[in-house]
A and B are shown apart, each in its own frame.
Chain A
Amino acid sequence: MSDLLWILLSAMVVNNFTLSLFLGLCPFLGVSGRVETALRMGLANIFVLVLTSLCAWALNTFVLVYAPFLRVISFIVVIASLVQIVEMAVKKFSPTLFRQLGIYLPLITTNCAILGLAIFQTNRGYGLFQGLAFAVGAGLGLTLALVLMASIRETTELSDVPDVTRGAGLVLIVAGTLSLAFMGFAGLLSGA
């Protein structure tokens, strides 16, 4: 159990996907303008990450033992189809949810956090439950980073910063500062 908790916390804060591995930066910079949007994007990500982790585990266990060099190609095909199926399912069964998540789902396909999760999970040799803990931790970490960033951006929009820094420059400097702050978590799990 403590092993799973370690994986979860490690993916969530110590090795935060966005702030220390730079995965999932497109949504991080693109949709982190408002807290509410950021939260929804984060939740959509958690959902897809968990499904991806399951698929990656199944592929690794049953198919890719015979041809490990087809890993990248099969992961990306499965992720793309998965997102498509999820989109169709959500549209059919919950139109309200679809209106809220709909536009974020296709964006998730080219979100490197998803493929990154599948590949890191494989490289580290995680089993089914370890993979799931990893996916939940990574998703929570992404959501945390998105929401933190969005709340800071809502503030900076109204503050008096030098004109020349407005836009991407300022966002990246803020991200750098957040990333520095997250380095403080590094000692957190050393006792485990």
Chain B
Amino acid sequence: MKETTAREDLLRGIWRENPVLVQMLGLCPTLAVTNSVANSLAMGIATAFVLLGSSVLVASVKRLVPGEVRISAYVLIIATFVTVADMALEALAPGIHKALGAFIALIVVNCIILGRQEAFASKRPVGRAALDALGTGAGFVIALVLMGSVREVLGSGSFLGHPLFGAHYEPWVVMILPPGGFLTLGSILIALSWLRRRRAAAAGEARS
């Protein structure tokens, strides 16, 4: 693995290697809970919290954990943070806890978190692991809020619960139903790939 600067560790996950939009990881929550902006934000923050906590802990104890049992130890650490997040959310924001339901517990199997431990936190110093977790977490929040905004605006005609279009707007209900999740993410990915192509084409022209 080649050496990276601290700045790169932080920024990489936000856009260039965005966990959802580029690496296509952690799709279950991305599709399941993004039917409103508030839910997306809560899920994103809860996941980022778990990611940050686990990365810091994994990076701190990496010398103590023998390689053979490292995955089990990571999973144990992640599950502990998830349970803490679950209980904290239920105590502090019961409404959102109710809306997210079983998907909070499913943060445990979010491949982004285990992926970052295995690929980064288990090999790097604590500070770098924290930066990487912050960047990746922010990237996840951005992707979720993007999905949530598109789906809530189209599907309920509101943003964060505030109506946008007045009483005559007939909401596009399918966008907040399961198919809307697939369709929204598919469209976003196609738009991104179109943008990338345009940029690559423009760069090619500039060079010739």
Contact = CB atoms under 8 A, between A and B. Distances in A.
Direct A–B touching, Cβ under 8 Å: yes
Contacts of B75: 76-77, 80
A168 B23 CA distance: 10
Interface stretch (B39-47, B129-137, B188-196): B188-196
B187 A173 contact: yes
Nearest to A21: B32
A167 B28 CA distance: 18
A164 interface: yes
Contacts of A76: 75, 79, 108-109
Interface in B98-122: 101-102, 105-106, 108-111, 114
Chain A at the B interface: SS class: helix
Contacts of B80: 73
B106 A183 contact: no
Contact of B83 (A69, A164, A169, A179): A69
B96 interface: no
A144 interface: no
A2 interface: no
B111 A73 contact: no
A167 B193 contact: yes
B186 interface: yes
A73 B197 contact: no
Contacts of A111: 109
Nearest to A173: B186
A76 B50 CA distance: 16
A112 B32 CA distance: 12
Given A29-B24, A110-B111, A119-B105, A22 B186 contact: no
A176 interface: yes
Contacts of B71: 80
Given A19-B178, A183-B177, A73 B186 contact: no
Nearest 10 pairs between A and B by C-beta?
Answer: A172-B186, A176-B182, A169-B190, A176-B183, A173-B186, A179-B179, A169-B189, A73-B79, A22-B32, A180-B179
9 contacts: A71-B105, A72-B82, A73-B83, A76-B75, A115-B106, A115-B108, A169-B187, A172-B185, A179-B182
